[in-house]
Amino acid sequence: MSMRDIEARLLKLDPRTRARLAGKLLESLEVLSPAENAKLWAEEASRRDAELEANPGKARRARDVYRDARARFG
């Protein structure tokens, strides 16, 4: 199963389950050294940047993202 397949399946979970899973995943990163953690975040930022460059129409304004997050979780 590819990472995209895993992500797609996880994103279908209900918000409460996704939040619980996100918390567990973040906790698992706490055992990393600061250098390892920084490397992983830099790789993720690069991946997201490349994804956005490949598909600029997928971008959303920050204010829209924040508005939707507040409506959903606020």
For the chain, domain boundaries = 1-31, 32-74
Q: What is the DSSP letter of 13?
A: S
Q: Which residue has the higher pLDDT, 44 or 58?
A: 44
d(CA 48, CA 51): 5
Cα distance between residue 50 and residue 57, in whole Å:
13
This prediction has a pTM of 0.49
Q: Which tens digit of pLDDT belongs to each residue from 10-46?
A: 999 999 999 999 999 988 888 888 899 899 999 999 9
